[in-house]
Structure 1
């Protein structure tokens, strides 16, 4: 999603530099009139706004505070827009470290996927002090269709995203279960998709993800390992809050089982492949499994 967000920033007329481990992404950034660099420090020198789009808190910490990290090159008064899904406690810890250097931190997880990122139509669930919102506004306006300002305290944005991920993970797991169950009933799963997407049982995730199952396409637009991580955060927070999460816990175990079966790097719809294997069924794209 980071490349799409960078392109949206360029289209808005901002001067955009970027860093990525993927050389192809850097080439695409340069082709889009951005400036590619090989380290966060090089990319962020003299930047007013630094957008961090990685997988988790550990990667965010590395980008910001690791070797050749961004924060060392940033100036006081600049702002970090942190968009990885992480626990509220991790977000607060990173914000505190940034504040020690006079740098604002916006807890700003995102939703919408790669297509919305490329269109500048993401949803941002953000929290942080007013100064952080003000400093981040040019980038937020360019990247997002909707920016929710959820409070002054870092951690609120991450909490909202975790609730979203609970629902997203449960809906993906349920969709995979439903389409595979339909296969076990000898139903035409293409027709099942058509009927369900016009019926009350539909969900955004069913409609978005099951088209890939029908096509036998398990490419990692969003990997199984992402939901192992995110539902793991949900589970950890539930335990801390002494709040029962039976449905989310069942979904988490399906993702863990799928990752344990060697599909952690594949698309999150691979939960359907796991269920099909267990049931002795064959879904599209499983011919070579």
Structure 2
């Protein structure tokens, strides 16, 4: 099966390599020359622009940032739609609002393609091992056509219904939880440090007790060592919690905790921390209170 993976970032590279390991013929597409070179060294075909993917591509997996990038990669002036085989399946995995997912599905279907509204979770580590979770909606035909790709990149594929937008809705709700959990994990760690608790012992206690969360355990481990490398960056949650607010506004539904968390991520971004690991939203509290983070060098 001829597959294209558009977006060779933290998750896209892992997904593309997983497709290669599964025996698929894969073109990896990214503006970054370094990313293209890395994928080429692994045995994949590469393209700098979506319009240059292999002709007759039967499935395209898009792991870009948002709906606008997804639309440009598919239907823009340099988009890949003319290179897709008739009846090809589009697996749209960027986090976006449900209205955008429905609109893109309509464009794809009008052009004669199948469409899966298929956001993902799992981060770079799960993408690298082909163990992502996919929360998808689309027709039975779209799921069937995309099955080789889904089996290559994920260990759990949630089939949420036929209507586009359901997958996006579930992912937005998921991101509400993820963003709030990261923000409160940082708040708790910052409070403990300010009160004089040993950060490592605080971490050990929380991760062995009922107050733990996966986000606390994962993100605060990086804060303890000062590991700012962005598996998921602060700016991702500025965007994703904005999608939460947008969806909630359309439903006249209050989301006060998500809104407060978005303001914290926005503050971190305004401080110049937008591209660091999202757990370092804790630097908002550091700026407010002067606490010393355990992974920072003195002075």
Partner SS state of residue 111, structure 2: coil
Q: CA RMSD in A?
A: 1.2
Gaps of 5+ in 2: 1-10
Report the equivalent of 2:177: 167
Report the equivalent of 2:285: 275
Report the equivalent of 1:257: 267
Partner Cα distance (2:288, 2:82) in 1: 50
Matched, 1:41 2:55: no
Q: Cα distance, 1:90 vs. partner?
A: 0.4
Name the structure with the higher strand share: 2
Partner Cα distance (1:261, 1:287) in 2: 19
Report the equivalent of 1:216: 226
Matched, 1:197 2:207: yes
Partner Cα distance (1:168, 1:214) in 2: 20
Kindly provide the CA deviation profile for residues 7-39 of structure 1, in whole angstroms up to 9, marking residues without a partner as x. 110111111111111212111211221111111
- Count how many residue pairs are aligned between Structure 1 and Structure 2: 289
Q: Cα distance, 1:285 vs. partner?
A: 4.2
Matched, 1:157 2:157: no
Kindly provide the CA deviation profile for residues 102-141 of structure 1, in whole angstroms up to 9, marking residues without a partner as x. 0111000000011111111100000011111111001001
Report the equivalent of 2:113: 103
- Against the structure 1 CA distance between its residues 266 and 175, is the aligned structure 2 distance closer, same or farther, given a 3 Å change threshold? same
Matched, 1:225 2:239: no
Q: Cα distance, 1:75 vs. partner?
A: 2.2
Matched, 1:22 2:7: no
Partner SS state of residue 78, structure 1: strand
Per mean C-alpha deviation after superposition, the further-off stretch among 223-232 and 37-46 is 37-46
Task: Tell me if the contact between 2:199 and 2:294 (Cα under 8 Å) persists in the aligned partners.
Answer: no
Q: Cα distance, 1:67 vs. partner?
A: 2.5
1:113-132 matches, cutoff 5 A: 113-132=123-142
Report the equivalent of 2:7: none
Partner Cα distance (1:15, 1:74) in 2: 14
Task: Tell me if the contact between 1:44 and 1:50 (Cα under 8 Å) persists in the aligned partners.
Answer: no
Per mean C-alpha deviation after superposition, the further-off stretch among 218-227 and 67-76 is 67-76
Scaled by the length of structure 2, the TM-score of the pair is: 0.94
Task: Tell me if the contact between 2:136 and 2:166 (Cα under 8 Å) persists in the aligned partners.
Answer: yes
Partner Cα distance (2:231, 2:99) in 1: 27
1:230-241 matches, cutoff 5 A: 230-241=240-251
1:173-184 matches, cutoff 5 A: 173-184=183-194
Q: Cα distance, 1:226 vs. partner?
A: 0.4
Partner Cα distance (1:65, 1:277) in 2: 44
Task: Tell me if the contact between 1:273 and 1:286 (Cα under 8 Å) persists in the aligned partners.
Answer: no
Partner Cα distance (2:219, 2:31) in 1: 27
1:85 to 95, 113, 138: 95
Scaled by the length of structure 1, the TM-score of the pair is: 0.97
Partner Cα distance (1:244, 1:120) in 2: 36
Q: Cα distance, 1:40 vs. partner?
A: 0.9
Task: Tell me if the contact between 1:44 and 1:70 (Cα under 8 Å) persists in the aligned partners.
Answer: no
Partner Cα distance (1:286, 1:88) in 2: 40
